[in-house]
Amino acid sequence: MTNRKRRDEADQPSRFQMYANGALSPPCNPDAEAALLGALMFDNGQVDEIRHLLEPSDFFFPINQRIFSRILHIVSRGQLASPVTLRPYFEGETIAVPNDDGESQPYPVIRHMLDMVNMVAALTGVREFARQVRDLSVMRKLIAAGTKMVDAALDQEGDFNPDVLLAEAEAEIFDIAGTADVDRVDASYFGAAFEDVMSGVKDQSDGAPPDGVCLDGYGDFQQIVGPMERGDLILLGGRPSMGKTGVGCKVAVCAARAGFVSEILSLEMDKRRVTRRCLADMLYRPGYTSGFANLVSGKLTTADYRALDDVRAEIEDIPLHIEAPRSMMVENLGPWIRKRQRAWKAKGKELRLLVLDYMGRMQCIKVFRSTSERVAYISNEIKRAARDTGVTIVALTQLSRALEAREDKHPILSDLRDSGDLEQDADVVVFVYRDEYYLERHKPTGKGKNAAQIEEDYRTDCGRAKDRIELYTAKRRDGALERITGYYFASHQAIRDKGFLGEERSFFDE
């Protein structure tokens, strides 16, 4: 290619510039819109076939938007929608159409509808026409979003935050992706839904694995929450130092060990610290492995290194990814999950579980008048991301300080910080509690004749609470509330099931 040819091509306006200048028309198909509307007016039974695919705004021409909206309205009332019954709504209206000379002339809307009905051939392709109308609508939305992004970037002056622009852009693209995904509507008639449920029951009775995420090595959590199904939001709440991060990491590792692709998204700690937490739990062999502090400082024994060799061999086949961004807008959670889904799909795998540490670190594009409104918005967005992507989300959350003033410091639902929406949006709410933490910090100072008894009772309580962690459900949509007391070896950052007492092995040992 000559230099002159390159200069000539460089001088040519881009397609985006041509579109912005009005030289290119937005993508649309007038014939597809007309054929679709004609088929719907000819046979109203076709409306239910495409109702979930389209919104009136998906049509390019305003008159077609109004006709489609009116058809939906009339059919929803159980009445006939045809050019005859639609006539009163459009009587006397005209649209501009070009004549043979290319000049615009008025054309009655009633005639326009009759012309569409006469396209009887459209009856054979109603669903395909609807898909094309929708796809072209998505393309126009993408063009509009791109134009908006360019304008927003060019309008910035002085100090500006590109992260906010990126967040807004990704949120807008995610919304458009949602409109392109409407085929995944979860709907069926009751009889078909019954057959679907019974098919699943039969499959499991025949030995098929459950559809929900299973955990290999953490039966306590599995029993507490039940099957972790697609789109579930599971809140894991606790005060600081209760061990909820350890529980979250263990859930992700054990799910991955069971073959379910998992992600840890940490907004609380960097990737190295999260990895150390996971390794410390996997490393723990009672009696001959060092504590978490030794792993951090590198002061490991020969036995530690042998155990780490075993762990390394174990994790080579574990489908677990850890990411620790400095910050994340909650509006970007859905796009981020979709990005990770695509990355795993390229490896032939399906993302099933996300552990989010933690909700309080999520930021928002929107500005709110109160903290409770902000928390409610974050909760709703996380639940929407779970449902839209079909990924189970285990979200860690802090609890209100109010429980510290109570004699019984076990968390309850009202301790969910700042918003009842957390309770409402969650499918399961699990609380983590360690009595040992409070006993260590509130040693009694009894005096007098009861001092010895108080001291003895305190030692008894400490012995009973030592290395123990309680998990219990405060809400569970599909099951009874349960409480289980397992083991938490704080100096090792290791969590074990209730049956671990007396066992001299790790759950990773065969």
357 touches 245 (CB < 8 A): yes
pLDDT for 386 equals 93
**30-184 has which CATH code?**
1.10.860.10
3-state DSSP: the chain helix, strand, coil percent, rounded to 5?
55, 15, 30
Integer Cα distance of 444 and 446 in angstroms? 6
Q: Which residue carries 């061990």 as its tokens?
A: 243
Integer Cα distance of 444 and 447 in angstroms? 9
Integer Cα distance of 32 and 36 in angstroms? 6
Integer Cα distance of 339 and 172 in angstroms? 15
Integer Cα distance of 489 and 473 in angstroms? 22
Count of beta carbons in the 10 Å neighbourhood of residue 13:
12
> Helices 333-346 and 371-389 meet at what angle, rounded to 10?
30
Q: Where are the strands (E) in 287-350, listed by range?
A: 320-323
> Does residue 99 sit in helix, strand or coil?
coil
> pLDDT tens, position by position, for the chain (510 residues)?
455 554 455 556 666 565 555 556 788 888 888 889 988 988 888 888 787 788 898 999 999 999 999 998 888 888 899 999 999 999 888 888 877 777 788 888 888 888 888 876 545 678 888 888 888 888 888 888 888 888 877 777 666 677 677 777 777 776 676 555 545 455 555 666 666 667 766 766 766 666 789 999 899 999 999 889 999 999 999 988 888 999 999 999 999 999 999 999 999 888 989 988 888 888 888 777 777 888 888 888 888 888 888 888 888 888 999 999 888 888 889 888 988 888 898 889 999 999 998 888 888 887 888 888 888 888 989 998 999 889 999 999 988 888 888 888 899 888 886 666 777 888 999 999 998 888 888 777 766 667 777 788 788 888 888 889 999 999 998 888 999 999 998 888 889 999 887 544 433 333
Integer Cα distance of 461 and 444 in angstroms? 12
Integer Cα distance of 357 and 373 in angstroms? 21
pLDDT for 509 equals 39
Which amino acid does the sequence have at 108? Answer: P
**216-500 has which CATH code?**
3.40.50.300
Count of beta carbons in the 10 Å neighbourhood of residue 329:
21
The length of the chain in residues reads 510
Any residues with CB less than 8 A from the CB of 406 and at least 6 apart, and which?
Answer: none
Each domain of the chain, given as residue ranges in start order, spans 30-184, 216-500
Any residues with CB less than 8 A from the CB of 287 and at least 6 apart, and which?
Answer: 504
pLDDT for 351 equals 94
pLDDT for 17 equals 60
pLDDT for 187 equals 54
Integer Cα distance of 510 and 508 in angstroms? 6
- Among 401, 392, 328, 332, which residue's Cα sits nearest to residue 360? 328
Integer Cα distance of 130 and 124 in angstroms? 12
Give counts: helices (H), strands (E), the chain.
20, 11
- Kind and range of the H or E element at 326? none
Count of beta carbons in the 10 Å neighbourhood of residue 416:
25
Integer Cα distance of 33 and 35 in angstroms? 6
Alpha-carbon dihedral sign for residues 174, 177, 178, 184: negative
Count of beta carbons in the 10 Å neighbourhood of residue 154:
8
CA atoms within 13 A on the CB side of 248: 31
pLDDT tens column, 58-83: 999 999 999 999 998 888 888 899 99
Count of beta carbons in the 10 Å neighbourhood of residue 174:
20
Integer Cα distance of 33 and 130 in angstroms? 8
pLDDT for 505 equals 40
- Among 151, 168, 152, which residue's Cα sits nearest to residue 364? 168
Give bridge partners of residue 235 from the DSSP assignment: 395, 429
